[in-house]
Amino acid sequence: MDSLKQFFDENPKVALGFSGGVDSSYLLYAGVHYGAKIRPYYIKTAFQPQFELDDAKRLCAELGVEMTVIELDILSNTVVAANPSDRCYYCKTELFGALKKRAVEDGYRVLIDGTNASDDAGDRPGMRALTEMEVRSPLRECGITKPEVRRLSKEAGLFTWDKPAYACLATRIPSGKQITAEVLSQVEMAENALFALGFTDFRVRVLEGMARIQVPSGQMAKMIEMREEVCGAVGKHFKGVMLDLAGR
């Protein structure tokens, strides 16, 4: 595929699996820009923090696009909740299965997502699920990498252009450890507390009931300087707070 314009010329009516992140946000913009009938579907589960939904709503409002929100109890899938190493495969199958069902009901036959050309299919079980479900990835098909998505998003004036990558909350829990709504809530509240303290692009990972905080190296000194505030804020939700000195 040579360009997104060509893709949307050939596929003028598409349903987009929309997360509110950098990639799917630019893809939504491009679809609108090239005149496609593109409908974003946001699948709300316990794995997405509230700010992702808020960002998705904000972008759709700015682009004048109506978004469909699908509520899904992902933890009712016992395999996903058991958190095997290939959890993402089962999760994506569940998510896009629900999306596909709703999209077809709404008259959309082509499903797309925001996977870009920088994403490595080799270590992403979720991409195998997308392939099996015939979900197309225009950014990847057109050879558009993550840095290019950010550059194009900035040129388009999208507020998401410099939004840090944000993996779902389930990635904070070690493989093989049961995922519960309670621990996901703990992680979300702890990460919200760190956002409020001014930290960005971090992770609060769960280790034996404790929080293991990872921040970029450039924020390590600030984290140590604000040790008491961090322990107070994150310690409300976990029995112990640790700082990963290796960073992110």
Percentage helix, strand, coil for the chain under 3-state DSSP, each rounded to 5:
50, 15, 35
Cβ pair 21, 52 in contact under 8 A = yes
Helix/strand/coil for 28? helix
Q: What band does 121 get if pLDDT is binned at 50, 70 and 90?
A: low
The pLDDT value given to residue 162: 92
The pLDDT value given to residue 247: 83
What is the pLDDT averaged over residues 149-169? 93
The pLDDT value given to residue 82: 97
Domains in the chain (CATH in brackets) are 4-162 (3.40.50.620), 180-243 (3.30.300)
pTM metric for this prediction: 0.90
Q: What angle do CA 225, 229, 233 make, to 5 degrees?
A: 140
The pLDDT value given to residue 122: 56
What DSSP string runs through 125-166? HHHHHHHHTT-B-HHHHTT--HHHHHHHHHHTT-GGGGPPP-
Q: In Å, how far from its chain's centre is CA 164?
A: 10
Q: Which residues, at least 6 apart from 26, have a Cβ–Cβ distance to it below 8 Å?
A: 114, 139, 149, 152, 153, 156, 158, 160
Residue 104 has pLDDT above 60, yes or no: yes
**What average pLDDT is seen over the chain?**
93
How far apart CA 45 and CA 43 sit, in angstroms, is 6
The DSSP H or E segment spanning 121 is none
